[in-house]
Every structure is written in C-alpha cells, then in structure tokens.
C-alpha cells in the first residue's frame, strides 16, 4: 500500500493541520486588505492590457471582497492565495478579450448539445465526468486550463507547456499544504475539472462560499440572475474550443442545479445528467470537503455553521432544479442512480449517450475502461467523516430530503455505523471511594477525541426545560446555560428557594426562571409536582433528571426505601411516567400529543460511570434499606445509578414507534465535579474530599457541557439512546442495556409505584 493510501483524513476540523512553513508564513506576513481597484490595477500591470470586457463582473466582485474582509477571517497565507487567485482571474478576463479581438471567429464557434452533469455533491459526478471526458470526441475543462484558459504570450494558438507546468506546480503546492484534501477530492492538473472555475471569472459561483465563510456574499448571490455569467461562460468555452476542438462539451458542477434556468437560456439544447444518492451519505461527506477546503485558507472553521448553511443550500439546489424540470424541461434530463453507476458505470454512460443522440465508439469505451482501472477509490487515502460533526442528525437530514428521496426512489445506503463503544469500567474501577477517585483522575487525563460542545450561539427560544436538583452545583450550571440560550427554565428543588432562582436569573440574564419545590426522597412530593405541571398544562421540551446524593450511612426515603435508590431511580421513574401520561412531555406512546422527527422532546439522566462496577440489581430486594459502611456507600450509589440507566434504556425502547422515537432518552456521566454530592462524607475525610474537588475536579460549568449537549445538540435531533462519559460517547454497561433487566426493572418499578401511577 502506498504512503498516501494509508492516510485517513482528520475530523478535527476546528484545528486544521499546518505544515511548518505555512505556520511560519502566517506568523511573519500580514498581507494588505483586498481592494477592488488595486486588484484591477495589478491585473492590468501584469498583462499590459486594459479591456476587461462587460463590466458587470465588478458588482459581484465588490460584494465578494467586502464579505471576505468582514467575515472570512483568512489567515495570512489564505489571504495571499485568494488575492493571487482574484488577480489571476482578472488577468484571464483581459486575455480573453484580447484573443477574441485578435480572432473574431471565436465568437461564432458553435457549442452543440453539451452534456451537463448537474447532480448533488458526492453523488458520483466526478467519476461520471472523468468517464465522459475520456471520449476522444468530447471536450472537457482540464485542471491546468481552469487556472489559465487563454494562451500565454509566446504560446501561440495551441501552445500550453507553460500553463501545464503552472498547473502541475499548483497541484503539488496544494498537496504539500493540504494532503488530506486530495483524499476527499483529488485536484489534478491533467484531469477534468469543474467548469465552476470558469463561472468564477464572473465572481458569481458557489466556489467562494464553499471555500470561505462569506454569508453576506452567498445570500446576495442567491438573489441575482446569472444570465450574464453564463453568457461569459459560453465565451470562455468557445475560446477553449478554438484552441482544442471537440464535438461536444462535457460540463460538470453541482452549482448548475441552482441556475438551470439561466443555463438553458444560453445552452438550450443541453442534456442535464442528474445523479442521485442517499443524502445520509452525501451531506456529511460534502460538509467535510467544505471544512477541509476552508482549512486551506482559514484557521477558524465552524463545523455546525457549515452543516446548517449547506443543508439549506442543498435543499435550495434541489428545489430550483425540480422547478425547471417541472416547468417543461423534463425531456432534457437523464437521471443516474449512484448505485447503478457504481455497479455498472459503462451501462450508465450508454444511457446518457443514447439520450443525447450520440454514438459511443469502441475507442471511447476503451478509454473509459482505462479511467476505471486508474482512478481507484482511496488512492490518496481514506476520507473519514460524519454528518453529526456538522450538527446534522440522521433525522434532520431525512426530514429535509424525504420528498426528494421518494420522488427518485433513492435507497437508504447501509453503513458500518460507529465503532464498537466501550462498555467496561476504566482505570481502577469504582468499588471503593479511593479507586473511584483514582479512576476519575485517569478519565480526566484521557486523550481520546471528544465531541465538540454546543456552540454558545445556539438559541432555545420558545422551549421549556425542567431541571431537578438545580439549586447548586451541576444542576445550577445546567440551568444557567439553558437560560442564557433563551429557554424558559423550571427548577425542581428541595431547598434554595427562592435564592437559587434569583442567582440563576442574575447570572443568566434571564427572568424566565421559576422555582418549584419537590422532595425527590418523597414520592408524594414527586406526584404533587407532576400534578401541578399537568394542571398548568405545561409542555416540557427538555427534562434533566440531575438530582443526586451519596450519603455516608444508610438513610431512608419517606416511603422507607434506600434514599439513593429512591432519589436516583424511583422518583425519576414516577416523575417521567406521570409527565408522559399527562402529555406534559408530549409523546404518542403514553399520551396522544406527540411531536415527530427533530421536534421530539428529550429526557437526560445524569448518571455515573460507577454503574459499571455495580454487582447488579437484586430484584428480590430492590430498594431495600440495608446497613453499609462508609467505604461501601459507593457500591450502593453504583447500584442506584445502574437502576437509573437500566430504566433509561428501557424507557428509550418503550418510547420507540414505527416512525422513530416519540421522545429521546439519553444518559451520561459528567465525570468528577466540584459539587456537594459528597456533602455527607465522614467528618475525618471531609477536608480531603473538599480540597480534592475544588482543586482537581471539574467546575460545574465544564461538567454541564455533556448535559447541555445531550439536551440541545442539533446533531442529536430525533435520535435516542446516547450515553456520554465527559464529552466522549460510550455504551452503557451490558447490565444496563440488557433487555431482560430492563423489562424486569420496569415491571418491578410499576408495582412499587402503583399507588402513585
């Protein structure tokens, strides 16, 4: 295997890899700001020419420059490259005008029935493009031509060696700077390239928003007609045909889907090849391509912004292409399934040629076969990606493209899924306070990749969250975070009323805070809270079952159960089921007022990794109050958290419907938190425990990150059954996920709670 083939692309998009020389460049140089007139002057000086042709391009270029300067956040090298690219395209415009004046016959060169591949990104368009371009009778834009489409001084009509060398050097340079990008999308000087790079000479293409963060420019461009840019594209294609003739053009870029109306106005006999593939497979792949591309120019990559922007953009591209098709252009389209293309690529080529009325020669077929043998998948490395990295859950993607999938019969693409998740306890386990503490330290030092926290700008306006145990520590930090995001937050606490609520309101800047009194060690109190919420016809979008404790000696709930078992499991079972039955948490399993898809409510259980060290659930003596020593307390705590997570997994199963989960149920261990959970530690250990928590354990604000992630992250919308440890995804223990354990706990809990259900 070659060295390149061993490469696997990074999914740490926020921290793009940089060669040392590039880091040094960024540290030393500070290129000047982009300026329209300076760019025009630079192009004039380098070419000695002055006529750019129709000046329509200046308006989009000005908008683009303004957006780059205000929004793109380019590093020094990125700014240098973009400036060079803009000047280069202006130079090309000058040379196009000059060559058309020198050879006026160019303007009358016919462009007959071009084949335009206009499918979504990552749907096999590159493979199909390279196959069609292999036909000796076809004409396709090559990589080096895209950079310099016009002969340079001294090259004559057909000379190209200088431009070929320039293209090859650009290819080598890009590979040295960003080798991972080649594993995503090979950029080769002598291979067919997208004609979007020609449209870019009018500064009106998706290329800018794919390679830079320029939302103002992107929004402006969507409101423009691209008729003039397509006319200029035709002009450049004629210049290229004048240099090297061909019977027909093979064009390719997803950009065309958004502007087919303008394309047909310029190329009325075009054959549009639209490729189709499962959006679940393509969205993550394309967003990863954008992230890697932007990483060439900027150090500030926002994966969720990329996902949100391109999810909407791809939907727009589909809608605009369908509008043209349904307005009377259906006969111009050929639909190609990605799966049919992979299974028998040459058969799909035959279909396209038949539709275009062209003969597929034996010579062309032989050339295409050579392409298939040469362009093997992963020859530059393996492209690793996940749509979730960009804030896109499977449910969110499915909702966006369900009608598109149905219209074209696009199958669901099977995947290998995530790697096997850890199920065993880490470190020294949790069978004593000492080993649990040592394991917690080890876990905090774990260097495994973690999930990215929810971005601060995610808003929760119009949503209501209920958080138990929110008067201090972790629960209070979660409540503050949710309130800052605009959620209305209900705080269910035994103490701290109203002081804790006032603190949360002050720190969050929100007045949408309400304290509700509940004692989770008293099932009567829990039932009253559920009744009150039902009476008020509340609708809870997020329930965070956070309250917890670990006393150093046996204590009983008001009903006589072990207080840890009663608080961590029984109270939550009762509260959740009552809220589901009354529809306070909307659902279609226990009530009939559910929401579907990405709008389903979420329930988050704050559990503990200690559940992995429990001896299991003793169903015959569940919740029984027994004596234990200080050192044994953690084992009883572990068993109560095992009950909590077993309940959570069983609840997730019971809330699953044919349409997907009716309510999302997740669990987590926040890791060691500097909180009051060990407030009942023995007096002799209290100073040590308190010092350790304050100096070494996480602050509640940091520990709140996985709670907020499970409760609000867009990439989990519509999903259920996640478990996090810190900010890493794991599987719950085998005992917690065991179906029989879940059934037995549910039935036992129902009997124990029958009086209040």
Catalytic residues: 637
Output phi, psi for 630, to 5 deg. -60, -40
CA 373-377-378 angle, 5° bins: 130
Beta bridge partners of 698: 673
DSSP letter, residue 350: H
Q: How far is CA 164 from CA 72, 175, 252, 397, in A?
A: 31, 17, 21, 41
Long-range CB pairs of 583-590 (<8 Å, 24+ gap) are 583/534, 583/539, 584/530, 584/533, 584/534, 584/537, 584/538, 584/539, 584/540, 585/540, 585/543, 585/663, 586/539, 586/663, 587/655, 587/662, 587/663, 588/657, 588/662, 589/654, 589/655, 589/657, 589/662, 589/663
What gap in Å lies between CA 579 and CA 659, rounded to an integer?
21
What gap in Å lies between CA 530 and CA 537, rounded to an integer?
11
Q: Please name the residues in contact with 716: beta carbons below 8 A apart, sequence gap of 6 or more.
A: 388, 393, 602, 664, 666, 709, 710, 722
State the burial class of residue 297 (Cβ atoms within 10 Å of its Cβ: 0-12, 13-18, 19+): buried
What gap in Å lies between CA 54 and CA 52, rounded to an integer?
7
Which residue's structure tokens are 């060669």? Answer: 19
Q: What is the 3-state secondary structure (H, E, C) of 295-310?
A: CCCCCCCCHHHHHHHH
| DSSP per-residue string spanning 550-608 | --SS--B-TTSSBHHHIIIIIHHHHHHHHHHHTTSS--SSSSS----GGG--EEEEE--
275 within 8 A of 123, measured Cβ to Cβ:
yes
604 within 8 A of 543, measured Cβ to Cβ:
yes
Alpha carbon 44 to chain centroid distance? 43
Tokens representing 477?
A: 């930090």
- Closest C-alpha among 518, 483, 487 to residue 501: 483
Return the H-helix or E-strand segment holding 740.
helix 739-752
Q: Please name the residues in contact with 330: beta carbons below 8 A apart, sequence gap of 6 or more.
A: none
CA 91-92-96 angle, 5° bins: 120
Return the H-helix or E-strand segment holding 272.
strand 271-276
* Farthest CA pair distance, the chain: 100
What gap in Å lies between CA 37 and CA 118, rounded to an integer?
35
Query: Peptide bond preceding 268: is omega within 30 degrees of 0, i.e. cis?
Result: no
């Amino acid at each position: 295997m070659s060295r390149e083939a061993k490469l696997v692309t990074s999914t740490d998009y926020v921290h793009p890899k940089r060669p040392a020389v590039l880091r040094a460049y960024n540290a030393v140089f500070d290129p000047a700001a982009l300026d329209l007139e300076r760019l025009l002057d630079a192009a004039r000086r380098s070419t000695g020419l002055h006529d750019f042709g129709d000046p329509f391009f200046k308006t989009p270029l000005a908008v683009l420059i303004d957006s780059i300067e205000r929004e793109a956040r380019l590093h020094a090298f990125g700014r240098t490259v973009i400036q060079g690219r803009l000047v280069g395209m202006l130079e090309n415009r000058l040379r196009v005008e000059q060559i058309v004046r020198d050879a006026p016959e160019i303007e009358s060169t016919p462009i007959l029935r071009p084949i335009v591949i206009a499918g979504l990104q990552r749907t096999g368009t590159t493979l199909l493009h390279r196959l069609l371009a292999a036909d000796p009778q076809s004409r396709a834009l090559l990589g080096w031509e895209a950079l310099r489409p016009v002969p340079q001084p001294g090259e004559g009509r057909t000379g190209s060696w200088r431009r070929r060398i320039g293209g090859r050097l650009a290819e080598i340079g890009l590979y040295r700077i960003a080798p991972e990008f080649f594993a995503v999308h090979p950029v080769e000087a002598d291979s067919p390239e997208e004609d979007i790079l020609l449209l870019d000479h009018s500064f009106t293409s998706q290329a800018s928003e794919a390679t830079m963060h320029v939302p103002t420019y992107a929004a402006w461009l969507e409101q423009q007609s691209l008729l003039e840019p397509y006319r200029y594209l035709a002009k450049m294609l004629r210049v290229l045909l004048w240099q090297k003739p061909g019977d027909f053009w093979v064009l390719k870029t997803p950009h065309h889907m958004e502007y087919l109306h303008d394309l047909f106005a310029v190329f009325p006999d075009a054959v549009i090849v639209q490729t189709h593939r499962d959006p679940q497979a393509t969205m993550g792949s394309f967003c990863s391509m954008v992230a890697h591309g932007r990483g060439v120019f900027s150090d500030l990559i926002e994966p969720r912004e990329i996902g949100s922007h391109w999810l909407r953009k791809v939907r727009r591209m589909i809608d605009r292409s369908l509008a043209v098709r349904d307005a009377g252009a259906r006969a111009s389209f050929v639909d190609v399934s990605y799966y049919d293309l992979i299974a028998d690529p040459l058969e799909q080529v035959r279909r396209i040629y038949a539709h275009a009325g062209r003969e597929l020669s034996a010579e062309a077929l032989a050339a295409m076969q050579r392409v298939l043998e040469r362009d093997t998948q992963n020859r530059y490395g393996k492209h690793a990606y996940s749509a979730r990295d960009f804030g896109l859950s499977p449910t969110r993607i499915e909702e966006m493209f369900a009608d598109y999938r149905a219209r074209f019969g696009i199958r669901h693409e099977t995947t290998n899924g995530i790697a096997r998740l850890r199920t065993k306890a880490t470190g020294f386990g949790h069978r004593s306070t000492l080993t649990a503490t040592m394991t917690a330290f080890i876990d905090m030092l774990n260097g495994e990749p973690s999930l990215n926290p929810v971005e601060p700008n995610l808003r929760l306006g119009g949503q209501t969250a209920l958080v138990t145990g929110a008067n201090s520590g972790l629960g209070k930090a979660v409540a503050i975070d949710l309130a800052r995001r605009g959620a209305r937050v209900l705080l269910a606490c035994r103490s701290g009323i109203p002081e804790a609520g006032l603190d949360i309101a002050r720190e969050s800047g929100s007045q949408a805070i309400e304290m509700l009194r509940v004692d989770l060690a008293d099932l009567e109190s829990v039932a009253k809270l559920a009744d009150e919420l039902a009476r008020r016809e509340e609708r809870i979008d997020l329930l965070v079952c956070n309250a917890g404790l670990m006393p150093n000696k046996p204590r009983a709930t008001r009903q006589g159960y072990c207080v840890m078992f009663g608080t961590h499991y029984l109270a939550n079972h009762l509260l959740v089921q009552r809220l589901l039955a009354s529809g306070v948490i909307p659902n279609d399993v226990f009530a009939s007022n559910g929401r579907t898809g990405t709008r389903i409510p979420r329930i988050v259980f704050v559990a503990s990794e200690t559940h992995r060290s429990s001896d299991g659930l003793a169903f015959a003596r569940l919740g029984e109050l027994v004596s234990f020593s200080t050192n044994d307390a953690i084992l009883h705590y572990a068993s109560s958290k095992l009950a909590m997570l077993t309940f959570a997994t069983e609840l997730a199963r019971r809330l699953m419907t044919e349409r997907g989960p009716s309510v999302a149920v997740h669990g987590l261990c926040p890791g060691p938190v500097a909180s009051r959970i060990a407030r009942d530690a023995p007096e002799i250990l209290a100073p040590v425990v308190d010092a350790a928590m304050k100096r070494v354990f996480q602050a509640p604000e940091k520990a709140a990150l996985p709670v907020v992630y499970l409760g609000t992250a867009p990439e989990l919308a519509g999903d259920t059954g996640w478990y996090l440890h810190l900010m890493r995804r794991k599987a719950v223990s085998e005992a917690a996920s065991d179906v029989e354990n879940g059934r037995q706990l549910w039935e036992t809990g129902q009997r124990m709670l029958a009086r209040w259900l």
